[in-house]
Amino acid sequence: MKAIALVVAILISINNLGNAVARSKSKMPTQAIKLYYLPPSPPCRAVMMAAKVLGVELDLVVTNIMEGEHLRPEFMKMNPQHTIPTMDDSGFILWESRAIMTYMANAYGKDDSLYPKNPRQRAVVDQRLNFDLGTLFMRYINLYGPLIFKGGSMDEEKAAKLNEAIGWMNTMLEGKAFVAGDNMTLADISIIVTYTCLEAFEYDFSQYENVMKWFERMKKELQPYGYEEIDRAGAQMLATFLKSHAN
């Protein structure tokens, strides 16, 4: 019995040592991560809030896509796709907001709550992130992209497609506090920026009860991490563009 107890004690201490090593590995960047961004951009807002939740310092570099700054040769050399957000972590360049967020969580997360290491839990977060990229945000931008930049009237067919995606998310949230389970993950942060825009544009999604409750919960969750200053303020800028084109 004593021998078994000794083996268990040794195993526990090896495990604790492993955890301590894992914790010490999650260090912060040696210098602030450069983020090329513009305040109203929804994917930039998601990255900025995720960085705040992770406690990662960003060196924000305004890149005014309205004035073609993203088409300059220096920028195109870094990101041939010329999109913001683009990240530079001591020479490691990355674009696509969801890739940037998962990289930051992998590299600098103090724990794995925002982006779980458990394969199945992570798979659900990834599924939600992909749903956002390819479906929810895509349908939002299909509807509002032309309205924000060119004006015109609401395309009801595109609005119906967006509603369909919101409905799917409403079902995903059944019995859950957050989109991938019981705690906030990067998927919630990626997704909320779309709803913040929709609210600023006075788009009615009140019929989707789970989404409405989640949205209010997320606003509170992100309050200490720049929800008002980053997300709402940015969405308001887009709402102003939208209104200026509607008149």
- Show which residues are catalytic: 41
**Among 34, 35, 36, 43, contact with ligand GSH (rule: CB under 6 A):** 43
The interface region with ligand GSH, picked from 11-19, 81-89, 169-177, 179-187 by CB under 6 A, is 81-89
CB nearer to ligand GSH: pick between 46 and 218: 46
User: Which is nearer to ligand GSH, 107 or 237 (by Cβ)?
Assistant: 237
Of 44-73, binders to ligand GSH (CB under 6 A) are 65, 70
**Of 84, 191, 192, 242, the one binding ligand GSH by CB under 6 A:** 84
Q: What is the 3-class SS of the chain, one letter each residue?
A: CHHHHHHHHHHHHHHHHHHHHHHHHCCCCCCCEEEEECCCCHHHHHHHHHHHHHCCCEEEEECCHHHCHHHCHHHHHHCCCCCCCEEEECCEEEECHHHHHHHHHHHHCCCCCCCCCCHHHHHHHHHHHHHHHHHHHHHHHHHHHHHHHCCCCCCHHHHHHHHHHHHHHHHHCCCCCECCECCCCHHHHHHHHHHHHHHHCCCCCCCCHHHHHHHHHHHHHHHHHCHHHHHHHHHHHHHHHHHHHHC
| Interaction between residue 219 and ligand GSH (CB under 6 A) | no
Among 33, 35, 41, 226, binds ligand GSH (CB under 6 A): 41
- Footprint of ligand GSH on this chain (CB under 6 A)? 41-43, 65, 70, 82-85, 96-97
